Amino acid sequence: MIHSRNRRLRVNESIRSLVRENILTTDDFVMPIFVMEGENQQEAIPSMPGIFRRSIDLTVKECKELFSLGIKSVNLYMKVSEHLKDNTGKEAWNKDGLMQQTIKAIKDAVPGMIVMPDVALDPYSIYGHDGIIENGKIMNDATNDALARMSVSHAEAGADIVAPSDMMDGRVMAIREALEESGFTDVGILSYSAKYASSFYGPFRSALDSAPKDNMDIPKDKKTYQMDFHNSREALNEVFKDIDEGADIIMIKPGLPYLDIVSKVREAIDLPIAVYNVSGEYAMVKAAAQNGWLDNDKTIIESLTCFKRAGADLIFTYFAKEAAMILNK
């Protein structure tokens, strides 16, 4: 005779929901947003169905809708004009730059929205790299100085949390010290601590034209600063260093192929963990759903819930708006 039957707690939805371990809500989501120059402008991103580059006015409109759906945080990326790119990244801390104007506009229109601007030089670089280049090499410390100036500029514009995604050594400390010295003691740092050199970033790079250029005497990829996808223990090393340097939230990127890293980090730290459900993951689900191979809504909710199960607190996802609509039903 069987005395212990696990199926007793799966008999119906009411029982299943009663003992459910992880619940997905709109509070978990951060929506990445692409911003472009102009007014009343919107451009579709072919490799990311349903995602657009928008001018500031339409970005503000979108943020109002997101907030009404229960999404309380956005992550900002700029499509920078070619004539503004160089090897210093100086446009990144232009007080009247596209990023700075966007931050101000969102905070003015939706004060309760948490604005997390991306901190990295690749959208501003003529080389498409996250760092300043000298003699064909990515210069770590010079890049940190630029990232610190960029972060302070974002804080001045009204950013709540800055999100360095560059993977330079020591940049969290450089940014933390610069923010403290400038009086921005309440501005948080969400550090991309375990960001892997991944093939899943392709659609994102096409959206911003931020891929490394392959016609120059420079590194053809980002493997000298982003992590080797063969490694997992190295992720903990990166995480612990960023925490020591003053990070408030830890990011792991990409998401679904790296749930083992999320779980490993969750067991090791108490700080909030963010995970990035990246553009390639989004594109794969959308392509399969459009071909009728997957149920779009069910796959979205299942995949996002997996991040919570693995230990993530925040989920950066292009599905955020769509998932909110599904959950709000």
Q: List the binding residues for Mg(2+).
A: 238
Partnered with residue 31 across adjacent β-strands are 74
Q: What is the 8-class DSSP label of residue 86?
A: B
Place of tokens 């959950």: 327
Closest CA to 208 of 134, 279, 287: 279
Q: What are phi and psi of 315, to 5 degrees?
A: -125, 110
Distances, alpha carbon 52 to alpha carbons 29, 59, 62, in Å:
18, 10, 11
In terms of phi and psi (left: phi > 0; alpha: psi -120 to 50; beta: otherwise), the region of 202 is alpha
**107 given a catalytic annotation:** no
Distances, alpha carbon 312 to alpha carbons 55, 66, 210, 249, 305, in Å:
31, 21, 27, 11, 10
Among candidate residues 195, 222, 286, 321, the one labeled active-site is: 195
How many Å apart are CA 162 and CA 225, to the nearest integer?
19
Residue 226 token pair: 């982003």
Among candidate residues 107, 222, 253, 321, the one labeled active-site is: 253
**253 given a catalytic annotation:** yes
47: three-class secondary structure by DSSP: coil
Q: State the alpha helices, DSSP H only, in the chain.
A: 13-18, 56-68, 98-109, 140-157, 171-181, 202-208, 233-245, 259-268, 279-290, 296-310, 320-328
Q: Are 197 and 226 in contact (CB under 8 A)?
A: yes
Transcribe 252-311 into DSSP letters.
EES-GGGHHHHHHHHHH--S-EEEEE-HHHHHHHHHHHHTTSS-HHHHHHHHHHHHHHHT
Q: Are 164 and 191 in contact (CB under 8 A)?
A: yes
Binding-site residue numbers are: 238
Q: Which residues are catalytic?
A: 195, 253
